[in-house]
Chain A
């Protein structure tokens, strides 16, 4: 692999506390050197290796983004997305690492599938970190062998869309995961309260004649899980709450943190931007689980991001084929794509509109998710780290059209939205994974 020199850019590396013009040298998949402009020790051709150069004048360079919640649909549902297309979409969105949920077909509950997902034959454009199922077949009964899953490459465990309702099973999962140093990610939904529901419970669901999921279905399970973490305090159990969407759930996380518990949470862009009103007239591209909530809940997500309770922005990228979404709202599958819109939305709204410093936005999308999942030498560009870099024009505005995206699916509520921050290059472990204009 040829070395790569990136010159002229402005490096923002929140984990290293750098926000300054820097040149960097990437070599053998790692960051070899970070230097003041023009001060890299390498001179092309003279240090015994050849290097390509990227001119990043006027651009921001930052650690490659990390999305800890994506559905890549393989194995089993390649018509929605494959690991190759999903990671190509990730690269186009500036992501260099994605953590893949286990609700594949079959469920990823084994070291074999975990390894299969990471195999070179999948032709991933960026690094895939499988998250393995917490229980056999995600049925909420027998726990999987977390040590074996971890050594196969799993970075966390979850039953995602099939949340663990039984107290005993969840307690055992938290304890067993803690013993091998993994977190348990919970999709917090008491499914006993959400049967037949297709949106948030409130005035909008009444008006549309749709059965609604009460916010308590989320917050009650978060509160239950936090109680279990408190019981397991000595075991250092780590609970991560996926796609937090309600004010009450985020309040519970906030309190748990004050109490010193290892509880983290993520928020998806659609939950800090959209409300149940965006369901409009049965737009199935505004149907996901957890659903779009009330304006008060949405505002609570923004507030929690701005004041630091939220640890990560994660997309819950959930591709579905067009025909699957062109059905009655109640019958449509949950989920929207997100990898190619997350950075553009975060910069347009969190940074530009709500004045969150760029470094903090980037930290929520790289340094903090890396720390949360324990991804070593990622989420930063200090010398010796993986050469995962995103280079983008932070001021550029552009309009998103799903048809020009890399994902196999187009189920997005953000069609035609103005985005800010155009990704120009994405580099994954020293290889160029995406170049703008080279569609």
Chain B
């Protein structure tokens, strides 16, 4: 009886999921999946070009264009680097944050976006505590929306700056990326994967360049279904086993603000997953250590590792400005004008 039912079931034609209408604006960056590899290469190349550009010339690229930073969550690196990036291109920026605006009075994201557009914003950089908020904002405003981190979902510019950092160490000089650029490279992402938008963007981007992504963490912070997010993603629960296989080790903070009642024994966690100098020296003496920040020193990494010679944490921060210049430029400059001649 069961066999018959299964046979019948397999033959059923069912309604396919709808096609995504996103992005509405070609300058939007909502997810790393919005970018072709060619576009990723283009952004990396523009990041380098803009970084090297004469600051006064660079200042004309988006002179007096209006960029709004809409931040529903606190941020140091992302906010500052987006702001510096937009300003370096000559744009006017304005910051709206949830604690000092009408958002506190109950204004919806849609209305806030429409208000910013009416005030002349030509692009909105959004950091939001709800997954998917940038999609809502883009649908409501049809402006270029740059996702600066949405809930537990994605943080595409972080993945791009991580990629730039990885390439600088493992493939110096390479910008035009292909599906084989990172062939043979294993990247371990370690810790609170469940709540991490950085992990999701990286696990969706890096395998497309040929990298193998190993996710490492306890079950509570890393469900088995994570491997089904995309191709090239595996789980290795044993931290030292993951370290031994990795050229890149990306450590993540435990997101206490998103644990939602989940009880974790931090001592256990540290014993199993803290990146110590000893572990690093024994298992991955030449790996590059990344961390998207903020770091909780002494929890996921020791101070010695964070400040040590294998750490590229501050390089990541520097790369953030370059990548975000390229992303903000892409948002506001039509592709045909966005060539090497700029």
Residues of chain A having any CB pair with chain B under 8 Å:
195-196, 202-203, 206-211, 273-275, 277-278, 280-283, 295, 298-299, 302-303, 306-307, 323, 326-331, 349, 353-354, 417
Considering the complex, give the chain A residue whose CB is closest to the CB of B13.
A353
* Nearest CB of chain A from residue B103's CB, rounded to whole Å: 12
Question: Complex formed: what's the CA distance from A417 to B152 in Å?
Answer: 32
Q: Choose the segment among B16-24, B205-213, B281-289 that binds chain A (4+ C-beta atoms closer than 8 Å).
A: B16-24
CA distance A379 to B200 in the complex (A): 52
Indicate which residue in A209, A274, A353 contacts B151 across the interface (CB closer than 8 Å).
A209
B108 contacts A by Cβ under 8 Å = yes
Residues of B contacting A302 in the complex (Cβ-Cβ under 8 angstroms): 9, 12, 14
Residues from chain B with Cβ under 8 Å of A202 in the complex:
225
Among A206, A273, A328: residue with most chain B CB under 10 A: A328
Determine which of A203, A210, A275, A303 lies in contact with B131 in the assembled complex, contact meaning CB atoms within 8 Å: A210
Cβ-defined partner of A330 (8 Å) among B15, B130, B154, B197: B130
Q: Which of B38-46, B132-140, B266-274 forms contacts with chain A?
A: B132-140
**Known contacts A209-B150, A282-B131, A306-B8; is-contact A327 B108 (Cβ 8 Å):** yes
Answer whether A273 and B15 are a contact pair too, CB < 8 Å, given A209-B154, A280-B20, A328-B133.
Answer: yes
Given contacts A302-B9, A326-B140, whether A208 and B14 have CB atoms under 8 Å apart is: no
**Top-8 shortest CB links A-B:** A209-B153, A282-B132, A209-B152, A328-B130, A209-B131, A203-B228, A277-B17, A203-B225
Which chain B residues border A206 with CB–CB below 8 Å? 194, 223, 225-226, 228-229
Report B-chain residues with C-beta under 8 Å of the C-beta of A299.
9, 12, 14
B66 CB within 8 Å of chain A: no
Closest residue on chain A to residue B136 by CB atoms: A328
A331 closest partner in B (C-beta): B130
Given contacts A206-B223, A207-B200, A302-B9, contact A282 B260 (CB under 8 A): no
Given A207-B229, A354-B12: A330 and B131 within 8 A (CB)?
yes
Cβ contacts B213-225/A at 8 Å (1 or 0 each): 0000000000101
Is the Cβ of A307 less than 8 Å from the Cβ of B5? yes
Q: B309 on the interface (CB 8 Å rule)?
A: no
In this complex, how many residues of chain B approach chain A with their Cβ under 8 Å: the count is 37
Contact (Cβ within 8 A) A326 B110: yes
User: In this complex, what residue of B is CB-closest to A274?
Assistant: B15
Give the distance to chain B from A212, nearest Cβ to Cβ, in Å.
9
- Residues in A with CB closer than 8 Å to B223 are 206
Contact B8 A282 (CB under 8 A): no
Bound form: Cα–Cα A229–B228 in Å: 39
Asked if A328 contacts B200 (CB within 8 A), the reply is no
Distance of A246 Cα from B114 Cα, bound (Å): 40
By a CB distance below 8 angstroms, the chain A residues around B261 are 195
B130 CB contact (under 8 Å) in A326, A329, A417: A329
**B170 partner residues in chain A, CB cutoff 8 A:** none
Asked whether, in the complex, the Cβ of B108 is within 8 Å of the Cβ of A303, the reply is no
Tell me if B235 counts as interface (CB < 8 A to partner A): no
CA–CA, A280 and B12, complex, Å = 22
Cβ of A196 and Cβ of B260 under 8 Å apart? yes
Q: Complex Cα distance A46/B17, Å?
A: 58
Residues of B contacting A326 in the complex (Cβ-Cβ under 8 angstroms): 108, 110, 136, 140
Asked if B128 is at the interface of the complex by the 8 Å CB criterion, the answer is yes
Does B35 count as interface, using CB distance less than 8 angstroms? no
B49 located at the interface, meaning its Cβ lies under 8 Å from any Cβ of chain A in the complex: no
Nearest residue, chain B, Cβ from A417: B15
8 new A-B contacts, CB < 8 A, other than A202-B225, A417-B15, are A203-B228, A206-B229, A209-B131, A209-B151, A209-B200, A280-B17, A307-B5, A330-B132
Residue-wise, chain B 103-116 has the 8 Å CB interface mask toward A (1 for contact) of 00000111000000
Q: How far is the CB of A159 from chain B (nearest CB, A)?
A: 24
Q: Known interface pairs A206-B225, A273-B14, A282-B136. Does A303 touch B130 (Cβ–Cβ under 8 Å)? A: no
Interface centre among A195, A210, A277 (most CB of B within 10 A): A210
Most chain B CB within 10 A, of A277, A298, A323, A326, is at A326
B15: chain A residues at CB < 8 Å are 273-274, 349, 417
- Whether the Cβ atoms of A282 and B12 lie closer than 8 Å is no
Q: Which one of B13, B18, B109, B152 lies within 8 Å of A327 (CB-CB)?
A: B109
Within 8 A of A (CB), among B85-136: 108-110, 128, 130-133, 135-136
23 A-B contacts (beta carbon < 8 Å):
A202-B225, A206-B226, A206-B229, A209-B131, A209-B151, A210-B151, A274-B15, A275-B17, A280-B17, A281-B20, A281-B135, A282-B132, A295-B14, A298-B14, A299-B9, A303-B8, A303-B9, A306-B8, A326-B140, A327-B110, A328-B109, A329-B136, A353-B12
In the bound assembly, the distance between CA atoms of A329 and B136 in angstroms comes to: 9
- Docked pose: A211 CA to B261 CA in angstroms: 13
Q: Which chain A positions have C-beta within 8 A of B8?
A: 303, 306
